[in-house]
Amino acid sequence: MKLHLRERFSTHEGMHALIKKKGSINPTMVLGLILALVLTYLIAIPVVMLITESVRVHSIDVSYFQQEEGAFTLRYFQRALVSRVSSVLFLSPLMNTLVIATCITLCTTIVGYILAWIITRTDIRLKRIFATLAVVPFMLPSWSYAAAWITLFKNRKQAGAPGILEVMGFTIPDYLAYGPLPIIICLTMHYFPLAFLMFGNAFQRIDSQMEESAQILGANKLQTAIHILLPVMKPAIMSTILLTFARTVGTFGTPYTLGRPVRFNTLSTSLYFTYQSGEPGVMAVIALAMLIIGALLVALDVYVLREYKRYVTMGGKGQMSRPFTLGPMQIPMNLLVGCFLFVVIVLPLSILALSTFMVTPGWFVKDNFTLQFWFAEETRVREAVPGLLRDPTLLSVAWTSIKVAGIGALICGTLGTLVGYAVVRLQQYRLSKYLRHLSFLPYLVPGIGFGAAYLVLFATGRGPIPALYGTLLLMILAMSVMYLPLTTRSSISSMAQMGAEPEEAAMILGAGWFTRMFKIVIPIQKRSLFSGILLAFIQGMKELSLVIMLAVPGLEVLTTLSIRYTDNALMQMSNGVILIIAFVTFLLTAVSQRLTKTSLAQGIGG
């Protein structure tokens, strides 16, 4: 009898049969249907609404268009694509976005590839330290490098105190202070850890015997790198290119900080400016264009990964990883990597920190150093502006950030775990595929585009759902859904590894669905759940592109507060807020790594 039961419950079909026998309702199916309804409303409908907003007349344009509100129109597309202002609104920002995204992707791929090769494939010293430091830039807010850059290179074209170099007597040209060049440099410094992680993990799986065999057959190191390493690294290279390109398209803080003084707009900043100027129809067109770019990139990624098996380099016999001997170049290589990491980590943070203690950055005299930007009841540079740690607004905004990121992360982690459970346990149903694809949809939409979609859906009440614009709940909902792809993918992978056997044993003993979830599934998945919640919380604390569309006066978070200080030419205050965000992010990352005994760079350089 026991053998019969074991054979019967060895598959998902057997598990499903037992559920059907014990009752007519399948709790997992009910869960899947509820999740499908909730995610359809929170993910699919906002995207559909964004599309419809681009082809319907808005109330603000009724008299100008001489059409009824809600009537079909293509005039927003016409204004964005072929009008006299189309170049300013859409065409130039589109071209600027594609150009800087291409350059950033190229630079990021090269830097990440070289650094990953040095740390994983050579006998360089301090591997673990270098590998850990290499992921630090990605923990910082994306525009923190832009803030450091503007503090160092700012010239008098922008209001407020000049940059450090100009105060020291250097003349800084506009092309170096603002525009595409500094945007490319700053975002390369922020995004290269993505490439490093992907290439580092890929290099770890490559058997060094292939390189050694090629060299025995007469190939030199350059030929080996081109004909052996590059082909087998193709999947990692393509994934890095597509992921970096997609993230660059949606980034807002850096193009806003460095592009606005010279009117260099990207799609993200153009979308924000059209929203600020009261053009919801054109805003929807720009957001739709960003959605299409994201969809094309993901489709290309799926196509590329279909060929992944052609590049498998690990077989059943194990692998060898014999490091390349640097010889006399070991010390210079250590110095080179150390200097690079100093430039991308220590130098920017030092510039930001130093600026918060100087009235005029770059003027190194005793009277110029001050603590007023942190502790004064009223700073000398601007009346009625207290120091950060004396400002009650900072505490309120910080608490709002923690609430939005914290509650959003809890919802995100819980939803991700439930979706992962439903996807794995309902594999024989189409509902599983629907949930898998739907939960991944937020990845297609850049943050500022997703914020625009939520703005459209919740700006007015619809049926039993009230208008949520300007409320904390709207921010929380948007945050919890934005990072759902991260937690869902992690949960699906973890659930698939767990298997159905523990639940099957509990079912034989008569345990109900809720008992199995709370006594078996959640305890087994607690590490994955905890990691997902912390990752979403850390990302939420430094999120700007999403919340910039949803923040209103009286409802700000730390990231929007930093941008507001920038707009008011209070760079010291803005830099101080960035340092607070960085400190919280580092602290949370350290705690999460200690509790889960993992790290982003785990295994790389080991």
**Percentage of the residues of the chain whose pLDDT score is greater than 90:** 30
Measured in degrees and rounded to the nearest 5, phi and psi for residue 555 equal -140, 75
User: Rounded to whole angstroms, how far apart are CA atoms 195 and 241?
Assistant: 8
- Find out whether 426 and 432 touch, Cβ atoms under 8 Å: yes
Measured in degrees and rounded to the nearest 5, phi and psi for residue 20 equal -65, -35
User: Rounded to whole angstroms, how far apart are CA atoms 472 and 408?
Assistant: 11
- Find out whether 282 and 89 touch, Cβ atoms under 8 Å: yes
Nearest residue to 108 (alpha-carbon basis) of 241, 256, 288 = 241
pLDDT value, residue 107: 95
Identify the residue with better confidence: 242 or 97: 97
Looking at the predicted structure, is the pLDDT value of residue 544 above 90? Answer: no
H-helix or E-strand spanning residue 47:
helix 45-53
Confidence of residue 240 (pLDDT cuts 50, 70, 90): confident
Give the pLDDT mean for 204-231.
Answer: 68
Query: Structure tokens of 193?
Result: 């850890």
Range name among 290-299, 303-312, 336-345 with the lowest pLDDT average: 303-312
Looking at the predicted structure, is the pLDDT value of residue 234 above 80? Answer: no
Paired with 358 in beta bridges are 369
Looking at the predicted structure, is the pLDDT value of residue 411 above 90? Answer: yes
Q: What is the number of alpha carbons within 13 Å of residue 312 lying toward its C-beta?
A: 8
State how far Cα 195 lies from the chain centre: 14
| pLDDT tens figures, 336-373 | 999 999 999 999 999 999 999 988 888 888 888 999 99
Looking at the predicted structure, is the pLDDT value of residue 79 above 90? Answer: yes
pLDDT value, residue 189: 94
| pLDDT tens figures, 488-519 | 877 777 777 666 777 777 777 777 777 887 77
User: Rounded to whole angstroms, how far apart are CA atoms 390 and 342?
Assistant: 32
pLDDT value, residue 305: 60
User: Rounded to whole angstroms, how far apart are CA atoms 261 and 146?
Assistant: 13
Helix axes 484-498 and 522-541, enclosed angle (nearest 10):
160
Measured in degrees and rounded to the nearest 5, phi and psi for residue 251 equal -70, 145
pTM metric for this prediction: 0.84
pLDDT value, residue 325: 78
User: Rounded to whole angstroms, how far apart are CA atoms 128 and 339?
Assistant: 16
User: Rounded to whole angstroms, how far apart are CA atoms 65 and 78?
Assistant: 13
pLDDT value, residue 604: 62
Measured in degrees and rounded to the nearest 5, phi and psi for residue 573 equal -70, -40
